[in-house]
Amino acid sequence: MNFKKKVLSVSLSSLMTLSAVTAVALPVGAVGNGPSAGNGQVTTSNLHTYESLVSYLETQDAKQERLALEVIGETVNGRDIYLAKYMSNPKNPTILFLTQQHGNEQLTTEGALEFIKHLGTNKTKGILENVNILIIPMLNADGAMGDVNFPLDDYLAKGDRHLTRANANGIDLNREHDKKTDSMQVEVKALHENVFAKYDIDYMIDIHHQGTLSETDGELVSGSILYPTNANVKPEVLEASKKLGAVVYNSIESTGWGHIGRYDGGSGENIGRNGAAVRYDIATLLFEMRGMSDHNIESVALGQKSNGYLVKQTVTTLDAAVRAIADDSIETADASFWDTLPTQYNRPGIESDE
């Protein structure tokens, strides 16, 4: 991996300001105490639709000088796929945040949108001058809107909208990453050709949701993480991935409500976490947050009571990652926690995702 050199010029005050902005992002009490069993009704009415997401991005684009929007391609059913870009300097290191490869995992997208709003405040200038940020919120927009070519009769969410893991063709987009681009589903093809191959990306966090009943040490986790585990990942890419994991782990565990386990994931190159690392030498981290936005299995879908801390968990993750990259502290992050991080245990009936 060729990590880009850059001049360290971020000020401490600007770092502190971003942290302070993040801390007031949600109403008092919204974060709660973290995971607990029983989370209320599964509803999707409080989530952005694809249309309201586009409107939100356009509003932020009009307000934010540093933000640029790019359409990287179309979904199977013709929805434009958006990339939000903060590209201040080509010499800066670049991080990509990817959400909703699986359409039924949306609180990560809600967090990413919240984060975009934060980046629009003038107080984050010291960050944006030292790191380039790419955000794809909702890669699988057809699945997110339940606009798919298969029946959804057994899905749980109340109301007229369902969200599905697969894209409109019923394909799992996170099993496409080892293919030739012409053989990929169009959403993944757009990601590879117009983002992975086009931008010089150093880091990626691929953000998902898992089931609701995973635990370590007898305690439900708020999420689980994993670095690329394919044997063809270069050692320096693996090391950088583990350091990215350390930054995220420390930021979440220090909140008091966050509890992170190690994800028990596969090593195949078809999975984004592995494929992006092998094909493009991108240091990657999978972050599986608790609970899906809709599902046909009751123990997997998450009710709305947990929305607050999971959105907050996403914002905290993105905030910590960009700050550590902007000030180069990621280079000295201690990755040794991986050696003792317990692998999460899934209680019966849980789908593990990725």
* Count of alpha carbons within 13 angstroms of residue 137, beta-carbon side: 29
- Residue 175 near Zn ion by CB under 5 A: no
The minimum distance between CB 354 and Zn ion, in angstroms, equals 6
Judged by CB under 5 A, which of 102, 161, 259, 295 binds Zn ion?
Answer: 102
- Tell me the residue nearest to Zn ion as measured from the CB: 208
- Residue 176 near Zn ion by CB under 5 A: no
Binding window for Zn ion (CB under 5 A); candidates: 1-9, 18-26, 32-40, 97-105: 97-105
| Beta carbon nearer to Zn ion, 102 or 312 | 102
Q: In this structure, what DSSP letter does residue 60 have?
A: H
- Residue 353 near Zn ion by CB under 5 A: yes
Q: For 191-256, give the secondary structure using H, E and C.
A: HHHHHHCCCCCCEEEEEEEECCCEEECCEECCEEEECCCCCCCCHHHHHHHHHHHHHHHHHHHCCC
The minimum distance between CB 18 and Zn ion, in angstroms, equals 28
Touching Zn ion, residues 198-217 (CB under 5 A): 208
Give the C-alpha separation, 111 to 317, whole Å: 9
| Beta carbon nearer to Zn ion, 221 or 335 | 221
Distance of CA 169 to the CA centre of its chain: 23
| Beta carbon nearer to Zn ion, 44 or 132 | 44
Q: To which residue do tokens 């991108």 refer?
A: 282
Distance of CA 177 to the CA centre of its chain: 17
The minimum distance between CB 265 and Zn ion, in angstroms, equals 11
Give the C-alpha separation, 123 to 278, whole Å: 36
The minimum distance between CB 164 and Zn ion, in angstroms, equals 11
Binding window for Zn ion (CB under 5 A); candidates: 104-112, 117-125, 133-141, 197-205: 104-112
Burial of 164 (0-12, 13-18, 19+ CB in 10 A): buried
By CB under 5 A, how many residues form the interface with Zn ion?
4
The minimum distance between CB 207 and Zn ion, in angstroms, equals 9
- Residue pair 289/107 in contact (Cβ under 8 Å)? The answer is yes
* Residues within the interface to Zn ion (CB under 5 A): 102, 105, 208, 353
